[in-house]
Structure 1
Amino acid sequence: MLKKIPQSLSPELVKVLMEMGHGDEIVLGDGNFPGSSHANNLVRCDGLMIPELLESILEVFTLDTYVGCPISLMEVVKGDSYTPEIWDTYKRILEESGEENINIEHLDRFAFYERSKQVYAIVTTSEKSLYANIILKKGVIL
């Protein structure tokens, strides 16, 4: 074990976060996300939910300040009346993180899927909330 590394971050995930460079992106995918078929680099975090992982990742990961929106969410499909309450949880976590740039963009489902095929890594979770998928763009530490 190491000091100051959140327990929810596995050695594999810490390695991936350390390998990532400025501008690289990572997807935190909910339990329905097609991670295995989209990932070039897949990290399984079975049993963990995205809010816990997001909080832990933001303790060691800086969001990009050189882009308009370093955070991307999958928008609700037109005609679907579901309201993703988890987005309010994400907003609270982001606000409490102390990160400088917490602007969020919403991508339609298929644009999100296409972008996820280009990211550095996809983390699969056991998150049950719908539309819980999130992309984070890594920044630089000054």
Structure 2
Amino acid sequence: MLKLIDPLLNADVLYALRAMGHGDELVLCDANFPADSVARQTTLGRLLRIDGVGTAQAARAILSVLPLDNAVDAPARRMEVAGEPGNVPPVQQEVQLEIDQAEGRVRVMGSVERFAFYETARKAYCVIATGERRFYGCFLFKKGVIAPEA
């Protein structure tokens, strides 16, 4: 255990979050996502896990240490519901709340069509799988920077 670090952030996840650079993306996914096969194609090349929780709780932990990119319009994106791109299911609404809380302001998520999401995920830095069983609990987060202290 570490002070001020969410205990959900295990050593492997912390390593990946720290190793990512500005503009690198991570995939936070539900239990139905093809996480292992996609993760093998990422920069890290292996699957990371935050088991036993859903994506909203995992997002809260990740966003407690990961700055989102301010240089892009949508540093957080969600997988669109197939055939219903405007539908934002409860799991995605919950993650939106975690993003807004972590950022201290509204940062509306972008969206990515389901199959385009898989292609984008393969180019990510890493994939972090959760125990989320609700459909469409899959997200992309783009890492930002921490400004120097004045």
Q: TM-score, normalised by structure 2?
A: 0.87
Q: Which sits farther off after the overlay, 91-100 or 12-21? A: 91-100
2:48 aligned with 1:48: no
Shift in CA distance, 79/68, structure 1 to aligned 2, threshold 3 Å: closer
2:95 aligned with 1:95: no
- Residues 127-142 of structure 1: pairs in structure 2 closer than 5 A: 127-142=132-147
Aligned equivalents of 2:50, 2:22: Cα separation in 1 = 23
Gap runs ≥5 in structure 1: none
Whether the 8 Å contact between 1:71 and 1:135 is mirrored in structure 2 is yes
Shift in CA distance, 118/73, structure 1 to aligned 2, threshold 3 Å: same
2:30 aligned with 1:30: yes
Shift of 1:41: 3.2
Aligned equivalents of 1:54, 1:79: Cα separation in 2 = 24
Pairing partner for 1:73 from 54, 74, 78:
78
Question: Which residue does 1:111 correspond to in 2?
Answer: 116
Output the amino acid matched with 1:108. E
Identity of counterpart residues, as a percentage? 35
Shift in CA distance, 79/94, structure 1 to aligned 2, threshold 3 Å: closer
Gap runs ≥5 in structure 2: 40-44
Query: What is the number of residues matched between the two proteins?
Result: 141
Aligned equivalents of 2:56, 2:105: Cα separation in 1 = 19
Q: Deviations over 1:100-126 (max 9, x none)?
A: 672311111110000000000001111
Shift in CA distance, 60/118, structure 1 to aligned 2, threshold 3 Å: same
Aligned equivalents of 1:30, 1:42: Cα separation in 2 = 13
Q: Which sits farther off after the overlay, 38-47 or 6-15? A: 38-47
Shift of 1:45: 2.1
Alignment RMSD: 1.8
Tell me the secondary structure at the aligned position of residue 64 of structure 2. Answer: helix
